[in-house]
Structure 1
Amino acid sequence: MTDSISSLSKQGEKVLSFGEILLRICPDMDGQWLKENKLPFYVGGAELNVATALALWEVPSAYLSAMPDNSITKDIVGYLDERNIDTTPMVFHGDRLGLYYLPKGKDLKNAGVIYDRANSAYADLVVGQINWDKVFQDVTWFHFSAICPAINQSIADVCLEALKIASSKNIAISLDLNYRAKLWKYGKEPINILPELAKYCTLIMGNVWAANKMLGTALHEDLTPTEGYAKETLLQQATDTSKEILSLFPACKAVANTFRFDYGKGIRYYTAIFTEDKLTVSNEYVSEEILDKVGSGDCFMAGLIYGFYNHLPVNETLNFATAAAYDKLYIPSDATTSTVSDIEKRIIRND
């Protein structure tokens, strides 16, 4: 189809990811880090995780964030450059880098996360500060997440500024509906902000509950995020939610949903994507134990971008993205370290 996502993406041009660069500090649960004077950390942030995966998978990848200009951030830029991430759009200003603390084994979506991001360099960005015309040169895809406008009204306004310019340049735009309750603290709810941003987006990814909370889509009566619902019920909800999003936001060409259910130390995981009037569903992945939940959804989004960027068929795109997300659960860091070949070996095939 001429209006498919793949038709908007031109190989050889860059994917630009925009979001806050963070350090994740990972204390263990029993205080042993105090006794050993060891505190593991990772360089991350949802959008950087996407940029890192794409660069590893040989998709030209650029990253725009903001950091103070000091010796630590210079080391970080060198670290990103070594991973073939184009950091030339980076803004250097302000006084501090955002941090968050997440004890080992905890999930970003629950009470275990502790944020230390107030007044960070990224949080202090303002409209008019970034030369988006220059930043978008040779960019064919722009990615951001709902974490960005959760920080403050100024960043929400910067996102809107970027989306208007990207849309005018016919750049494909992807949005991950990440919901972080601890970040929405400036008097606005996601439903007050996200619909205005979503109307510029080409690909929207999340889950049916996030779409309900952030975009106002309808949920079937009594549907709650629980393992108890039949898969057929959840997939029907995914179809209905996707159709509603496509109706509400005509620029959108595809809606992807993930379903991850935790049990004990393991997970059940499957995904779906609705595009070209059809719901495509992945195989289901089951594991009794995983290593790190952080970044799995980012890896799924990166996999979708990888597939559309390379003009893969929808089912191949979904298979790759799902396997990439599942594979990330076994990697103890924010971003994946698995190559395309590694991920292809993870794909569950029906033939």
Structure 2
Amino acid sequence: MARVVTFGEVMGRIAAPGFLRLRQALPGPLDVTFGGAEANVAASLAMLGAQAAFVTALPDNAIGDACSASLKALGIDTQHIIRTDRGRLGLYFLEAGANQRPSQVVYDRAGSAVSITAADRYDWAAIFDGAVWFHVTGITPAISQTAAEAMLAAVQAAKTAGLTVSCDLNFRKKLWRWQAATSPKELAEKTMREVLPHADLVVANEEDCAAVLGIHAAQTDVEAGELRIASYPAVARQLVAQFPNVTQVGITLRESISASHNNWGAMLYCVAEDRAYFAPLQGDAYRPYEIRNMIDRVGGGDAFAAGLIFALTTAELNSPDTAVRFATAASCLAHSIVGDFNYSSRAEVESLMAGSGSGRVVR
């Protein structure tokens, strides 16, 4: 299988139990796991069967040990994780939403190990040895200027090494605070416009494209959960017009009816064919998965990115229509699993692709 490298910050995920609010749960026990966009992609890739390597910086203490061991247990190559006596493990606190109450995230990431680790600490020549693909997101450069510089150096090194590079825009308005005189949107746009000229595949949603690149999906109201699917090929074409190096654009299509009920699908635009492929389909028509009992939506987009990378690096799955079907099914399943990581196998994803979505007991 293809060797895929991802780079970014992994955090401690501290969640209120069930659907409790943090104000209800504290003081009291919280559920602690690990997560973070790029680590989520590596985890999903490993569980699908790819050779996945994750690069980050972790504190050289028992907490860093636990995080590294957790990733390694999933089959992720952790040998290039930098251990440092400076910095800490970043955290995020989560309360799961339900019905009309949205989920809420509180970040505690200042001074994390990866946010203060300089670009020259990473030996990209060694890291990329034997790899064919490199994946990053717009989250890690949002935490500090140092992290942004490290990520830019990484994508430049990846292209020099001949790797395919994918980037998930993943705009987070609560981050991007490291340049006081610049708004989060302006800082994100300035930074990502330096990164995207090195990307072959860009993954995003309509909010990312609007916030970071000023590209809007016509007649779409995300807040009302109303998407005009026919508008999305134009979004992809506008992105490619700005960055002609991009060969494919993946866009997730989430209609949020409530925190508990989402319709979920995706589009993959192929520049060479000037064609957009949608999934899932009923006949020839787009018909999204109806997720009526949301278990956990955090990491859903990461599961899509991982599914897309896995499919595009697997010979029997790499046609655009099959790749987007596989990625959309993988990310649909992720919504049924607690935690950031998508504990779904290739066989389970392909079963859903084939229409087995009833949830009947497998005996």
Specify if TM > 0.5: yes
Q: Show CA shifts across 1:279-337 (max 9, x none).
A: 00112101221110111100000000010010322111111110111111110111011
Q: Which runs of 5+ in 1 are unaligned?
A: 1-11
Q: Would the aligned equivalents of 1:271 and 1:322 in 2 still touch at CA under 8 Å?
A: yes
Q: Would the aligned equivalents of 1:105 and 1:293 in 2 still touch at CA under 8 Å?
A: no
CA distance in 2, matches of 1:348, 1:208: 28
Aligned ranges for residues 144-223 of structure 1 at < 5 Å?
A: 144-187=136-179, 188=182, 189-220=187-218, 223=220
Match of 2:279 in 1: 282
Task: Report the identity percentage.
Answer: 30
Of the three residues 69, 81, 103, the one matched with 1:90 is 81
CA distance in 2, matches of 1:14, 1:288: 35
Of the three residues 232, 237, 241, the one matched with 2:231 is 237
CA distance in 1, matches of 2:349, 2:337: 12
Q: Is structure 2 residue 266 aligned with structure 1 residue 271?
A: yes
Match of 2:244 in 1: 250
CA distance in 2, matches of 1:207, 1:32: 33
Aligned ranges for residues 68-79 of structure 1 at < 5 Å?
A: 68-79=59-70
Q: Show CA shifts across 1:230-281 (max 9, x none).
A: x5xx333211111122222122110011111222321111111100311001
Of the three residues 33, 47, 50, the one matched with 2:38 is 47
Q: Would the aligned equivalents of 1:292 and 1:333 in 2 still touch at CA under 8 Å?
A: yes
1:43: Cα distance to partner?
Answer: 0.8
1:170: Cα distance to partner?
Answer: 1.6
Q: Would the aligned equivalents of 1:105 and 1:291 in 2 still touch at CA under 8 Å?
A: no
Aligned ranges for residues 124-163 of structure 1 at < 5 Å?
A: 124-163=116-155
Q: Is structure 2 residue 14 aligned with structure 1 residue 25?
A: yes
Q: Residue 235 and residue 41 in structure 1: after superposition, are their counterparts in 2 closer, same or farther (change >3 A)?
A: same
Give the secondary-structure state (helix, strand or coil) at the position aligned to 2:250.
strand
Of the three residues 302, 308, 315, the one matched with 2:306 is 302
Match of 2:54 in 1: 63
1:223: Cα distance to partner?
Answer: 4.2
Of the three residues 256, 259, 263, the one matched with 1:262 is 256
Of the three residues 333, 348, 352, the one matched with 1:346 is 352
Q: Would the aligned equivalents of 2:144 and 2:178 in 1 still touch at CA under 8 Å?
A: yes
Give the secondary-structure state (helix, strand or coil) at the position aligned to 2:330.
helix
Q: Aligned residue pairs: how many?
A: 332
Q: Show CA shifts across 1:141-197 (max 9, x none).
A: 000100011112221111111111111122011111111111111234211111110
Task: Give me the CA root mean square deviation.
Answer: 2.1
Q: Would the aligned equivalents of 1:67 and 1:122 in 2 still touch at CA under 8 Å?
A: yes
1:210: Cα distance to partner?
Answer: 1.1
Q: Would the aligned equivalents of 1:15 and 1:141 in 2 still touch at CA under 8 Å?
A: yes
Counterpart residue type for residue 312 of structure 2: F
Counterpart residue type for residue 247 of structure 1: A
1:215: Cα distance to partner?
Answer: 2.2
Q: Residue 97 and residue 349 in structure 1: after superposition, are their counterparts in 2 closer, same or farther (change >3 A)?
A: same
Give the secondary-structure state (helix, strand or coil) at the position aligned to 1:281.
strand
Give the secondary-structure state (helix, strand or coil) at the position aligned to 1:128.
helix
Give the secondary-structure state (helix, strand or coil) at the position aligned to 2:277.
strand
Match of 1:5 in 2: none
CA distance in 2, matches of 1:34, 1:227: 32
Q: Would the aligned equivalents of 1:208 and 1:237 in 2 still touch at CA under 8 Å?
A: no
1:227: Cα distance to partner?
Answer: 4.3
Bigger shift: residues 147-156 or 340-349: 340-349
CA distance in 1, matches of 2:345, 2:109: 31
CA distance in 1, matches of 2:338, 2:225: 29
1:117: Cα distance to partner?
Answer: 0.5
Counterpart residue type for residue 120 of structure 2: G
Calculate the TM-score normalised by the size of structure 2.
Answer: 0.86
Bigger shift: residues 332-341 or 127-136: 127-136
- Misfit runs of 4+, over 6 Å: none
Q: Would the aligned equivalents of 2:225 and 2:257 in 1 still touch at CA under 8 Å?
A: no
Q: Which runs of 5+ in 2 are unaligned?
A: 281-287, 357-363
CA distance in 2, matches of 1:238, 1:61: 31
CA distance in 2, matches of 1:236, 1:125: 43
CA distance in 2, matches of 1:72, 1:184: 26
Q: Is structure 2 residue 305 aligned with structure 1 residue 316?
A: no
CA distance in 1, matches of 2:63, 2:325: 38
Q: Would the aligned equivalents of 1:25 and 1:40 in 2 still touch at CA under 8 Å?
A: yes
Q: Would the aligned equivalents of 1:266 and 1:287 in 2 still touch at CA under 8 Å?
A: yes
